[in-house]
Amino acid sequence: MPILTLIQAVNDGLKVAMREDERVLVFGEDVGPKGGVFLATEGLTTEFGKQRCFDTPLSEDGIVGAAIGMAANGLRPVCEIQFQDFIFPAFDQIVSEAAKLRYRSGGQYTAPMVIRTPYGGGIRGGLYHSQSGEAYFTHTPGLKVVIPSTPHDAKGLLLASIADPDPVIFMEPKALYRHAKGEVPAGHYTVPLSTLRTVREGEHVTVFCYGSMVPVVEKAAAQAAEQGIECHIVDLRTLLPLDEQGVLEAARKTGRVVIVHEAPRFCGYGAEISAMIAENVIEYMEAPVRRVTGFDTPFPNTLEHHYLPDERRVLDAIEEVARF
């Protein structure tokens, strides 16, 4: 089985989708002959022509708005927002239109489309090339929000997202684009949306994470294991709709929970996981839920390695929860 990086897996997934289904179009800023600023769309214009993979004017609102119209009229658009930090001009189109078209039309009109966008820090991108905006979208019924953390999942979840009848925000952890490597099957396969991935089995502490935080948590768990603390790591990978029962089961298994994400803490995605546990399985809990997150500040630049949860901070939380 070929070994691919996460970005190569995305590229492979796009090619597979475009070969299988001529309704699939890829467009966005610089995605054409240049192949995207991270090369996610490299070679697509050459293979599929400029009718099916093309550059757009610099207009996030227009890219997403037009994608909705294409989807409502029978295409399967896969558009790219170059950095998730630049998605906000399209927020209205995503939240008011794509997310609500099926509901408001009683199912008469739908928007099966994917918005791919790199998110997260770790590349010295400063305030506007580093943010993790998943919670803006997970607060919006009608959207699906998917974040892979491995090359295998990146391709499988992308193909599932493109085939999905509803709009998907597909957030790619740019810090892992070239650092995450792994076996990726050739050709078509899917990883079903709304399923969790158990990264590591363990009986002492359950750690929920997704995207770029997964390898950080894995390293912290390896260090915890040296002290005899065995972590149960769950990669959420679809944040909306979430496999809630799977989350509750994993929380109940150890009764001790740490949640890790790089987005700010206040009203962050971890708050929902924490509330879900408090509402449903508090009687099984042996310790307070602990969150390890980015600060409630804008994203920094020089000190980004301190802003992002690292092995040290994650390990500290695991130890604290285990000892409680």
Partner 1 sequence: MSQRIQLISPAGKPVGDLPKLSDGRLKDLFTHMLRVRVTDGRMLTLQRAGRIGFVGTSTGMEAAQIGSAAALEPQDWLWSGLREGGAAVMRGLPLAEYVAQMYCNANDTAKGRQMCNHFQHKGTHYPSWSSVIGTQIPHGVGAALASKQRGEDAVHAIYFGDGATSSNGFHSGMNLAAVWKVPAVFVCVNNGWAISVSAKQQTAAHSYADKATAYGMPAATVDGNDVLACYATMRAAVARARSGDGPSLVVLETYRMMGHSSSDDPTKYRDEHEVAEWRGKDPIERFEHFLSQKGVLAKGERSTIEAALTAEVDQVIREQEAAAPMALKTLVEDVYAEVPDHLKRQYNHFIEVAERHGDAQPGDGAFPL
Task: Please give the positions annotated as active site.
Answer: 129
Q: Two tokens at 144?
A: 């699906």
Residues 76-105 that bind partner 1 (CB under 8 A): 77, 89, 92-93, 96-97, 100-105
Per CB under 8 A, the segment of 7-15, 152-160, 162-170, 283-291 that binds partner 1 is: 162-170
Nearest approach in angstroms of CB 63 to partner 1 is: 8
Per CB under 8 A, the segment of 11-19, 52-60, 129-137, 200-208 that binds partner 1 is: 52-60
Residue 242 touches partner 1, criterion: CB under 8 A:
yes
Per CB under 8 A, the segment of 1-9, 13-21, 53-61, 293-301 that binds partner 1 is: 53-61
Residues 15-44 that bind partner 1 (CB under 8 A): 25
Residues 125-154 that bind partner 1 (CB under 8 A): 141-142, 144
Burial class (CB within 10 angstroms; exposed 0-12, middle 13-18, buried 19+) of 192: exposed
Nearest approach in angstroms of CB 240 to partner 1 is: 9
Nearest approach in angstroms of CB 235 to partner 1 is: 19
R_g (Cα) of the chain, nearest Å: 19
Nearest approach in angstroms of CB 243 to partner 1 is: 8
Q: Cα torsion for 274, 276, 278, 279, to the nearest 10°?
A: 160
Beginning with the edge strand found earlier in the chain, give each strand of the sheet holding 290-294 in spatial order: 197-200, 231-235, 205-209, 257-264, 290-294
Say whether 237 sits in a helix, a strand or coil. coil
Residue 75 touches partner 1, criterion: CB under 8 A:
yes
Interface map 243-282 toward partner 1 (x if CB under 8 A): -xx-------------------------------------
In this structure, the number of other CB atoms found within 10 A of the CB of residue 165 comes to 10
Q: Where are the beta strands (DSSP E) in 95-180?
A: 114-119, 144-146, 168-173
Of positions 47, 109, 186, 305, contacts partner 1 by CB under 8 A: 109
CA 141 vs CA 97, 111, 146, 177, 217: distances in Å = 12, 14, 14, 29, 29
